[in-house]
Amino acid sequence: MNVVELLADLQAQHDETTARADELRDQIEHLTAAGAGAGAETETEARLADLATTRKVIAELAPAAAASDASPAKASSPNPDEATTKKQT
């Protein structure tokens, strides 16, 4: 899975989790018992925050990873500095 596919998958999960959080908020508004459904909302809100953080971190790393994806020679070396060192010697 390349970075673009990973980001697309994370965005899809984020969208699904956002929709679920919205549904839970609506349910909570309609519940008469205090606290009923709040646990699921808290869990979903935490998942939403985790997905947003993960997407942000990957997006920040994506420019470097996307550049290495575009160049198979660079992508074949596990350490980019090692590839540069080998070329210079």
Q: What are the pLDDT digits (tens) for 24-50?
A: 988 888 775 555 556 777 888 899 999
- Give me the mean pLDDT over the 15-24 stretch: 93
Given the structure tokens 């997006």, which residue do they identify? 59
Tokens of 89: 């010697």
Q: What are the pLDDT digits (tens) for 58-88?
A: 998 887 666 666 555 444 444 545 444 444 5
User: Which candidate, 47, 26, 48, places its Cα nearest to that of 37?
Assistant: 26
Sequence spans of domains, the chain: 3-88
Amino acid making up residue 75: A
User: What phi and psi, each to the nearest 5 degrees, are found at residue 2?
Assistant: -90, 175
**Whole-model pTM?**
0.43
